[in-house]
Chain A
């Protein structure tokens, strides 16, 4: 699998561990982080292909961690995974540089499809 490194960032540990387990069963290499510091430490140890993150993470205000990650790891595709259905927040995140915005709860198929899409998109510029 070309695109295998996934990072999940969410302060709900029950959520990240369960989703991580489901993605591992599908062959992905998954790391988890529950705070902004943990997330930044994790990307410094290895660049993930796709990052799924909630917007409100302890240790950062809304959107702050997204900005930091976009700077630190510009090659990763960052998908917002949140319970916040506010359209303005979605628009702002996408304008800020998020790859997509998925509302919780979701189907695992949606996540896997997004990983495949994001990885194809990530590889396209270098293939040209």
Chain B
């Protein structure tokens, strides 16, 4: 299977698992409303307050699910036109939202510090998402509960930068990063015309540099 197909399959498995959880909450909440009507419907305490609270919960859950579905829909449509102008923050945020379950599961905090005005890049956003996904996956196996990932987007000269900082009590190094080579992104960095620089701390911080679209 090609790397990108594995990437899409991975995102889909995270998403569908999450969707099953969301529908399950709605299913149980709707079931609880029916239970309350059936069991308490004729009693003095007919549970109206609880029914109202559970119904509000269903509405919130629908909102959360709709947001997640929108992210997946946008993620999928990025592949309609492979090369295009795209907004960097949207691409980063969308991927992180779709990966959220995996990060939550490991109790890893993720902070997004996205540049205010956004940055327009010409290229293939899906490949960039694959690269970001692979960088994070490379570290996930060595990050522990309570560790933190900070992702910052910024503009430096005529480039956009995505800075990753992995804060962990573990000693992270290039050797342990992506040790199993499951997610190799070196070829794909070239495809999007990006460069990668590791910080002074070794593999705990790294920067992806991507050329910005020149105005005019």
Contacts and interface: CB of A to CB of B under 8 A. Distances in A.
Contact of B61 (A14, A21, A57, A82): A14
Chain A residues touching B, majority SS: loop
Q: Which 6 A-B pairs have the closest CB atoms?
A: A83-B20, A104-B24, A105-B27, A105-B24, A18-B28, A83-B17
B106 A58 contact: yes
Contact residues on B (Cβ < 8 Å of other chain), bracket:
20 to 34
Interface in B17-53: 17-21, 23-29, 31-32, 35-36, 39
Interface string A52-66: 000011110000000
A85 B17 CA distance: 8
A105 B32 contact: no
B37 to A, nearest CB: 11
A11 B21 CA distance: 10
A117 to B, nearest CB: 20
Contacts of B16: 83, 85
Interface of B: 13, 16-21, 23-29, 31-32, 35-36, 39, 54, 57, 61, 104-107, 145
Contacts of B36: 25
A101 B20 CA distance: 14
A77 to B, nearest CB: 21
A75 interface: no
B17 A22 contact: no
A12 interface: yes
Contacts of B17: 82-84
Contacts of B13: 86
Given A21-B35, A58-B107, A82-B17, 19 more contacts: A11-B105, A12-B24, A12-B25, A14-B57, A15-B28, A18-B28, A22-B28, A22-B35, A57-B105, A58-B104, A83-B17, A83-B21, A84-B20, A103-B20, A104-B24, A104-B27, A105-B20, A105-B24, A108-B28
A19 B57 CA distance: 13
B interface, by DSSP: helix, strand, loop or mixed?
helix
A6 B84 CA distance: 54
A18 B56 CA distance: 13
Interface string A1-30: 000000000011011001101100100000
A113 B53 CA distance: 28
B208 to A, nearest CB: 29
B20 A18 contact: no
Nearest to B101: A56
Contacts of B20: 82-85, 103-105
A22 B23 contact: no
Contacts of A59: 107, 145
